[in-house]
Amino acid sequence: MEQQITIRQIAKLAEVSRSTVSRVLNNHPSVRPEVRQRVLEVIKEQDYVPQAAARSLASRRTNVLTLLIPRSSAFIFTDPFFSLTIQSITEACTARDYSLMLSMATGAEERSFYQRVLRSRITDGVLMLSSDIDDPILPLLINDDMPLVLIGSHPYLQPMYSVDVANRDGAAVAVEHLLRLGHSRIATITGPLQMNTAIDRRDGYKQALLKAGVGIDPQLIGEGDFTQEGGYSAMRTLLDVQPPPTAVFAASDMMALGALRAIYDAGLRVPDDIALVGFDDIPIASFATPELTTVRQPIQRLGATAATMLLDHLEGNPPAIHHQQLKPELIIRKSCGAF
Amino acid sequence: MEQQITIRQIAKLAEVSRSTVSRVLNNHPSVRPEVRQRVLEVIKEQDYVPQAAARSLASRRTNVLTLLIPRSSAFIFTDPFFSLTIQSITEACTARDYSLMLSMATGAEERSFYQRVLRSRITDGVLMLSSDIDDPILPLLINDDMPLVLIGSHPYLQPMYSVDVANRDGAAVAVEHLLRLGHSRIATITGPLQMNTAIDRRDGYKQALLKAGVGIDPQLIGEGDFTQEGGYSAMRTLLDVQPPPTAVFAASDMMALGALRAIYDAGLRVPDDIALVGFDDIPIASFATPELTTVRQPIQRLGATAATMLLDHLEGNPPAIHHQQLKPELIIRKSCGAF
DNA sequence: GTTCCATTTGGAACCGCTCCCATGAATACT
DNA sequence: AGTATTCATGGGAGCGGTTCCAAATGGAAC
């Protein structure tokens, strides 16, 4: 590896001072156009790229964001939802000249991880994927004044930047759709109830039933964990309830796929015997058999919005709205029996 | 945000020099145990974490690896394969005190991206996801002597660190299994053929057929793109071939799921009318209907091995073996009709 | 032709850490 | 006891940028 080119050499070649080169690099206005031009030419010619570490040390900014995945959300790694979120965040960062760091807070090392990655000033801000309500890392971040945007929402840590899908409404719309189709024994498979997302979707389910004057049968509420396996076993339990449900709202597509499988294994058919609606609209949803009716999350916008909020905040334009709600959309396919 | 604690203050409090504190931080042997102890106590007490930028600037190391996703592999964001790879890499990095950066080389910006992220010395090394054979970024990396491990393999850039699954063998085993079940009209849906992975799997298919004395019918080779949509449309074309195939080997599970759908839409059944085998063993594979027979990639080991190779290399223990081949495994379920 | 002010520019002091080298203390050897 | 050697420590010079401040430059206004 040849000797790294430094700002000094650029300065010398362009016959200006280091300060001026630095100003050019940082788009400082007070550089005469012809000088700026000359410096830029030398930079290009020499293929010069300023060294990140030196820059950060002097400027106290790193141009790096961190996507933090709490260990409690480790299941997310099997969920396509995740990939798409990452993709949109990466793109938003790249577009604004930031890099994205990925971190998992894994179990016991949480604390030391936190230290190493976040206190070392390696990152300018954190995007945190929705997590357990009582995740211990959240207070640490807030206490440290770490710029933070939550993807998801939190019940009582209110004045915090966050982006979320209107989970309650989305769930309600799904259940209303099932009601409209004539169902009254509607079950739900929830996510893990220490997660706010899971609670909201369950509440949307309840809300829709109550509004329609349909009572809530606790037996028809099964708890899953957002995975296929969870959906499968929750569904098996629900199938044993008497009288059995005629429709199921699963709080995620992955769980819906698991439920689908359980229903199939029990010798029943979707939607003929049981109608099924999911949540997320992950790519496989439209390729399942039958195609899955589901509540579409604007996944890409979710990530992009969160990143944008954080970047705006970091660059001195604090977003006026602290909590952004994106609207989900009911996508009607075959599994609900509407056709 | 309170004033950052520096190494100076730790030094003063522990009544030693900055040098000694630095030695303690870097596990340098020549510090008397009792002094080391004292310093560590002060560090803990003050909750001190050395600042990454300063460290990097002085030491010329960042403790950051970058996972590079070529734009040609953007489809990967809908593939669960990806999430699991990321997870295992993240874990491997964390375990060795490295952070992971995520980068996509997106289209036209490829070059400038390359500059910004890689030439700025923001990363110590790169893990690159398998890509087009002629991806322009590969030569750039090699030319810059950037420490690099390829996840996948490359046909002629040989003396490069890489980790791969034995794709050809895996494909061959799958096809041999279909042959053993009595099929002779076996089709394949390949990945995009500018990718080495896709070529290898197709070659495994051919190899198995030839070895069994079954001729290769070009009509039975459909090109997909590793996505469900691609699998779907490739399968539709294959269904029109006369005489039609009685079995299909899809070079990825996502394509197999698409193919499954196409077969179903055509009013045919798997495995009764057409036997189907996939590749990858992503989590949904076992939840499909019918459960998908597939070639399991040790996805987690793939990522972990790649990260380990790179870290070993960076830390001065260059792995003896440049190209690691991991063995895939045929997982027999329902879709091939073996039961 | 001065004076004044705004604009550009250069110099120098950091930013917080690492690491080489010199120093001094402690131990080993003759 | 004196000298050589080893080991632990401190001091200082970077690492490659940014940024404050003061100086230089060049017009405009008088």
Closest residue in A to B110 (Cα–Cα): A94
CA of B7 to C1' of D15 (A): 16
What average pLDDT does chain A have?
91
Return the minimum-mean-pLDDT range out of A180-184, B115-119, B153-157: B115-119
Domain covering A167-297, topology:
Rossmann fold (3.40.50)
Q: What is the mean pLDDT of residues A98-108?
A: 82
Of A33-37, A257-261, A313-317, B92-96, which has the strongest mean pLDDT?
A257-261
The pLDDT score that the predictor gives to residue A118 is 84
Q: What is the mean pLDDT of residues B77-82?
A: 77
Q: How many residue pairs bridge chain A and chain B with CB atoms within 8 Å of each other?
A: 161
B19 beta carbon to strand C: under 7 Å? yes
CA of A20 to C1' of C8 (A): 9
Q: What is the mean pLDDT of residues A62-77?
A: 83
The pLDDT score that the predictor gives to residue B79 is 76
pLDDT digits (tens, 9 = 90+) for B250-267: 999 999 999 999 999 999
Question: A56 with B4: CB under 8 angstroms?
Answer: no
Q: B105: pLDDT confidence band, cut at 50, 70 and 90? A: confident
The pLDDT score that the predictor gives to residue A275 is 97
Q: Which of B4, B47, B101 sits opposite A101 (nearest CB)?
A: B101
CA of B40 to C1' of D26 (A): 59
Distances (CA, A) of B339 to B20, B174, B219, B272: 69, 16, 29, 11
A58 beta carbon to strand D: under 7 Å? yes
Distances (CA, A) of B225 to A5, B230, B231, B250, B258: 42, 5, 7, 11, 11
Q: B138: pLDDT confidence band, cut at 50, 70 and 90? A: confident
Burial class (CB in 10 A: 0-12, 13-18, 19+), A228: buried
Q: What is the mean pLDDT of residues A118-139?
A: 88
The pLDDT score that the predictor gives to residue A123 is 95
B74 beta carbon to strand C: under 7 Å? no
pLDDT beyond 90 at B24: yes
Cβ contact, residue pair A121, B4, below 8 Å: yes
pLDDT beyond 90 at A287: no
**B7-50 and B64-165+300-327 in the same fold:** no
Residue ranges per domain, chain B?
7-50, 64-165+300-327, 167-298
SS3 assignment for B108-168: HHHHHHHHHHHHCCCCCEEEEECCECCCCHHHHHHHCCCCEEEECCCCCCCCCEEEEECHH
CA distance B137 to A296: 36
The pLDDT score that the predictor gives to residue A106 is 65
Cβ contact, residue pair A104, B119, below 8 Å: no
The pLDDT score that the predictor gives to residue A326 is 96
Nearest nucleotide by C1' from A11 CA?
Answer: C10
**Residue B250's beta-bridge partner residues?**
B189
Residue B238 or B119, more confident: B238
Bases of strand C lying below 7 A from some protein CB: 7-12, 14-20
Q: What is the mean pLDDT of residues B306-311?
A: 96
The pLDDT score that the predictor gives to residue A171 is 98
CA of B251 to C1' of D17 (A): 50
Q: What is the mean pLDDT of residues B228-239?
A: 96
CA distance B83 to B89: 10
Interface test with B, best of A120, A235, A292 (most B CBs within 10 A): A120
Kindly report the nearest CA distance between residue A210 and chain B, in angstroms.
Answer: 34
The pLDDT score that the predictor gives to residue A141 is 87
Residues of A in contact with B145 (CB under 8 A): 1
Burial class (CB in 10 A: 0-12, 13-18, 19+), B151: buried
Protein chain A, residues 233-262, with a C-beta closer than 7 Å to any atom of nucleic acid strand D: none
Closest residue in A to B104 (Cα–Cα): A90
CA distance B221 to B211: 17
Q: Which of B84, B102, B264 sits opposite A289 (nearest CB)?
A: B264
Closest residue in A to B105 (Cα–Cα): A94
Q: What is the mean pLDDT of residues B317-325?
A: 93
Structure tokens at B32: 């008397």
Question: B218 with B241: CB under 8 angstroms?
Answer: no
Residue A19 Rama label (left phi>0; alpha psi -120 to 50; beta): alpha
Q: Going edge to edge, which strands form the sheet with A293-296?
A: A221-223, A186-190, A247-250, A275-280, A293-296, A329-331
Return the minimum-mean-pLDDT range out of A301-315, B69-83, B90-104: B69-83
Q: What is the mean pLDDT of residues B43-49?
A: 93
Q: Is the pTM of this model over 0.75?
A: yes
Phi/psi of residue B315, nearest 5 degrees: -95, 20
Q: What is the mean pLDDT of residues B16-30?
A: 94
Query: How does DSSP classify residue B68?
Result: E
pLDDT beyond 60 at A336: yes
Q: Going edge to edge, which strands form the sheet with B125-129?
A: A323-326, A161-165, A148-151, A125-129, A64-70, A99-105, B99-105, B64-70, B125-129, B148-151, B161-165, B323-326
Cβ contact, residue pair B74, A87, below 8 Å: yes
Cβ contact, residue pair B120, A49, below 8 Å: yes
pLDDT digits (tens, 9 = 90+) for A189-234: 999 999 999 999 999 999 999 999 999 999 999 999 999 999 999 9
Return the minimum-mean-pLDDT range out of A80-89, A203-212, A321-330, B303-312: A80-89
Largest CA distance in chain B: 86
Q: Does domain A64-165+300-326 have CATH number 3.40.50.2300?
A: yes
**Residue B190's beta-bridge partner residues?**
B223
Query: How does DSSP classify residue A132?
Result: B
Q: How many CA atoms lie within 13 A of A150 on its CB side?
A: 28
CA distance A128 to A143: 15
Q: Does domain B167-298 have CATH number 3.90.76.10?
A: no
A56 beta carbon to strand D: under 7 Å? no
Closest residue in A to B117 (Cα–Cα): A99
Q: Does domain B64-165+300-327 have CATH number 3.40.50.2300?
A: yes
Q: What is the mean pLDDT of residues A262-278?
A: 96
pLDDT beyond 50 at B1: no
Q: Which of B49, B101, B283 sits opposite A100 (nearest CB)?
A: B101
CA of B222 to C1' of D16 (A): 54
Question: B314 with B127: CB under 8 angstroms?
Answer: no
The pLDDT score that the predictor gives to residue A1 is 45
Nearest nucleotide by C1' from A60 CA?
Answer: C15
Q: Which of B53, B144, B261 sits opposite A56 (nearest CB)?
A: B53
Strand (E) or helix (H) holding B207: helix B196-211
Q: Which of B49, B257, B284 sits opposite A115 (nearest CB)?
A: B49
CA of A114 to C1' of C28 (A): 48
Bases of strand D lying below 7 A from some protein CB: 7-12, 14-20
CA of A23 to C1' of D30 (A): 35
Cβ contact, residue pair A122, B97, below 8 Å: no
Kindly report the nearest CA distance between residue B151 and chain A, in angstroms.
Answer: 18
Q: Which of A1, A51, A84 sits opposite B77 (nearest CB)?
A: A84
The pLDDT score that the predictor gives to residue A115 is 72
Cβ contact, residue pair B100, A97, below 8 Å: no
Residue A309 or B104, more confident: A309
pLDDT digits (tens, 9 = 90+) for B274-303: 999 999 999 889 888 899 999 999 988 999
Q: What is the mean pLDDT of residues A156-162?
A: 82
CA of A35 to C1' of D29 (A): 28
Residues of chain A above pLDDT 70, percent: 96
Query: What is the domain class of A7-50 according to CATH?
Result: mainly alpha
CA distance A332 to A14: 63
Q: How many CA atoms lie within 13 A of A291 on its CB side?
A: 15
Kindly report the nearest CA distance between residue B275 and chain A, in angstroms.
Answer: 17
Structure tokens at B30: 């020549």
Closest residue in B to A76 (Cα–Cα): B83
